[in-house]
Structure 1
Amino acid sequence: MVDTLFVRELKVQTRIGIYDWEREVPQTVLIDLEIAADAARAARTDKVEATINYQTVCDRLVDYLEGAETELVETVAEEIARIVREEFGAPWVRVAVHKPAAVRGTRDVGVRIERGQATK
């Protein structure tokens, strides 16, 4: 079984979209993360240093997104996956990027990707 840390609906303002009007003001995106991590190791030590600190991950992603200007949610998802894997050493990550109300008549649109290998 793979242990997974998760973050649901990290809310961030960023400039994203394919239309000029979308890039004039920041829009809300919601980020869901699942990150493979060894929860047993962390539990044995009871120290945050023994796991991936989701607060630090969230702070890094907010910094990235607040400064980003992208057209596609796919680009955002790929960059988030890269950051989590390369900067935090996660072997596997699942990222969902939601852009609420981007399409009239919908509650939410977005993309979900997985990168890396979940280890057992």
Structure 2
Amino acid sequence: MQDTVFIEGLHAKAVIGVYEWEKAIWQDLVFDIEMAHDNRIPAAEDDLSKTLDYEAISNAIITFCNTRQYELIETLAERLCAELIAIFALSSITMTLRKPGAVPAARAVGVKIHRNA
């Protein structure tokens, strides 16, 4: 049985884009993350160290975005998923990454990926 730990609507800033003007500014990104995790042990022991610490994961996402620069959100999503799987020993992750200002006529555009360890 797999449960899900999730983070919705996490905002981070990144320098991302293919155009020269995008490479000179910080842009908003919005993440929704779902991570498979068996919550029975942390629930039984009431122990943070036995579960996925969503604050630590959120901080890792924000730091990742603040310290790297990519042209494509696809690249950012792929590399971020790989890093989160490695750091937090995730068995799987589903990430939706939105770039709200990319297409003025759309509320948001983005990618959704699913990766297994």
Sort the TM-score into its range (normalised by shorter chain).
Answer: over 0.9
Indicate the residue corresponding to 2:102 in structure 1: 102
Indicate the residue corresponding to 1:111 in structure 2: 111
Structure 2 unaligned runs (5+)? none
Q: CA deviation at 1:101?
A: 2.2
Please state which structure has a larger fraction of its residues in strand.
Answer: 2
Q: CA deviation at 1:2?
A: 2.1
Deviation digits for residues 14-45 of structure 1 (CA, Å, limit 9, x no counterpart): 10001011111100000110001111111001
- Structure 1 ranges of 4+ moved more than 6 A: none
Q: SS of 1:29's equivalent?
A: strand
Q: Which amino acid aligns with 1:93?
A: I
Q: SS of 2:21's equivalent?
A: helix
- TM-score, normalised by the number of residues in structure 2: 0.95
Indicate the residue corresponding to 1:40 in structure 2: 40
Distance 1:56 1:104 in 2: 33
- TM-score, normalised by the number of residues in structure 1: 0.93
Q: Number of residue pairs matched?
A: 117
Structure 1 vs Structure 2 CA RMSD: 1.1
Indicate the residue corresponding to 2:63 in structure 1: 63
Structure 1 unaligned runs (5+)? none
Distance 2:63 2:30 in 1: 14
Indicate the residue corresponding to 1:21 in structure 2: 21
